[in-house]
């Protein structure tokens, strides 16, 4: 291998690196990790440990970036067949797989070790669990079963627990698992909508999704309604445990009710434009739910 070919292998742009690490998705992980940290601090009535929070963000960001790298490494062939992912760095051959593999392992090791050494071993364990589920269960399962969405949602719901334990919060309490459930159930109508919008691409690429073989959209749209109802039931739970103020719970129920309204409308029409409306509303719901939960959280 010549020096010029090595330089070519290692030559990629900042934009290529951001796409490889799915910077936007990693940002969501960081935000929800911070959210879990701040609520644990608020529950304990203790001051924010800014250095601990900084180290938590660094470790979580590195681990999230690693998960994205390995996910794309495992799906190069499928990404190459889908128009919306064909321009990613690996299928577009902007970054070599061997280089991405090294980047992924460096990010994963640094993230998990950083959390374990600088923050809390429990936070490191949750980050490792997130990586393991995402890489070794969710990603392979996408080619085998439509239930991969549920497994992926588990991985996506763990970041608040990273933040909660990083702040010293006890894990055997209702509150952190409410945060887990909120993230878990929010993702499901979100993914149902995406699934229906891109169902042909997913099926042609070889993914096993809930929409596969669902020509009428009855099954897919039903799931959107079903998960929205579960979300409403979940956000009512703090009323029985008193860790979120009543006014905030009312706001959460109303916000989840609007999601149900969009899901029901989609179930009636089964049109792509109505699946898109549901999808866009899920993007509004999450920050609204986080803000309401934070300001209504009882210390």
CATH code, domain with 233: 1.20.120
The pTM of the full predicted model, rounded to 2 decimals, is 0.89
pLDDT of residue 175: 96
Q: Do 106 and 209 share a structural domain?
A: no
213, 241 contact by CB (below 8 A): no
Same domain for 103 and 206?
no
Does 115 share its domain with 231? no
Question: Is the same domain home to 110 and 154?
Answer: yes
Q: Is 159 exposed, middle or buried (0-12, 13-18, 19+ CB in 10 A)?
A: buried
* pLDDT given for residue 6 in this prediction: 40
List own/partner pairs for 42-51 with CB under 8 A and 24 or more apart: 42/294, 42/297, 42/299, 43/169, 43/175, 43/243, 43/297, 43/299, 44/167, 44/168, 44/169, 44/299, 45/299, 49/167
Residue 51 to residues 55, 58, 169, Cα–Cα distance (Å): 6, 11, 17
Distance, CA of 37 to CA of 34 (rounded, Å): 5
Exposure string of 94-128, with b = 16+ CB inside 10 Å and e = fewer, is bbbeebbeebbeebbebbbebbbebbbebbbbbbb
Pair (67, 112) in one structural domain: yes
Q: Are residues 129 and 227 in the same domain?
A: no
Pair of tokens at residue 184: 């878990």
Q: What is the pLDDT of residue 120?
A: 94
Tens-binned pLDDT, residue by residue, of the chain (299 aa): 444 444 444 556 778 787 888 777 788 899 999 999 999 999 988 889 999 999 999 999 999 989 888 888 887 887 787 777 778 888 888 888 898 889 999 999 999 999 999 999 999 999 999 999 988 899 888 888 888 999 999 999 999 999 999 999 999 999 999 999 999 999 999 999 999 998 888 887 778 888 888 888 899 999 999 999 999 999 999 999 999 999 999 999 999 999 999 999 999 999 999 999 999 999 999 999 999 999 999 87
Residue 189 sits in the same domain as residue 110: no
Provide the pLDDT for residue 215: 85
pLDDT of residue 3: 44
Domain end: 125, 157, 172, which one?
Answer: 172
Q: How many CB atoms lie within 10 A of CB 31?
A: 16
pLDDT at position 232 is: 98
244 forms beta bridges with: 297
State the residue range of the domain holding 237. 173-299
Give the number of C-alpha atoms closer than 13 A to the C-alpha of residue 177, restricted to the C-beta side: 7
CA 222/CA 232 separation, integer angstroms:
16
């Amino acid at each position: 291998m010549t020096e010029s070919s090595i330089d070519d292998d290692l030559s990629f742009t900042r934009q290529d690196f951001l796409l490889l690490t799915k910077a936007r998705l990693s940002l969501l992980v960081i935000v929800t990790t911070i959210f879990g940290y701040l609520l644990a601090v608020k529950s304990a009535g203790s001051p924010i440990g800014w250095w601990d929070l900084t180290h938590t963000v660094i470790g979580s960001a590195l681990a999230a970036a690693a998960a994205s790298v390995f996910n794309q490494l495992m799906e190069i062939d499928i990404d190459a067949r889908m128009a919306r992912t064909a321009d990613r760095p690996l299928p577009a051959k902007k970054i070599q797989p061997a280089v991405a593999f090294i980047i992924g392992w460096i990010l994963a090791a640094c993230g998990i070790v950083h959390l374990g050494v600088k923050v809390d071993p429990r936070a490191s364990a949750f980050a490792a669990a997130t990586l393991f589920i995402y890489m070794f269960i969710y990603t392979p399962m996408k080619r085998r079963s439509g239930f991969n969405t549920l497994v992926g949602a588990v991985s996506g719901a763990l970041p608040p627990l990273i933040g909660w334990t990083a702040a010293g919060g006890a894990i055997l309490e209702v509150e952190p698992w409410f945060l887990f459930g909120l993230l878990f159930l929010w993702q499901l109508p979100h993914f149902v909508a995406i699934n229906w919008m891109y169902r042909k691409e997913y099926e042609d690429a070889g993914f096993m999704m809930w929409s596969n073989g669902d020509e009428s959209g009855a099954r897919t749209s039903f799931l959107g309604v079903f998960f929205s109802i579960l979300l409403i039931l979940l956000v009512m739970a703090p009323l029985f445990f008193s860790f979120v103020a009543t006014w905030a719970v009312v706001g959460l129920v109303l916000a989840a009710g609007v999601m149900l309204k969009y899901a029901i409308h989609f179930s009636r029409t089964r049109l792509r434009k109505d699946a898109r409306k549901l999808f866009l509303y899920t993007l509004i719901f999450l920050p609204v739910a986080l803000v309401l939960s934070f300001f209504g959280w009882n210390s």
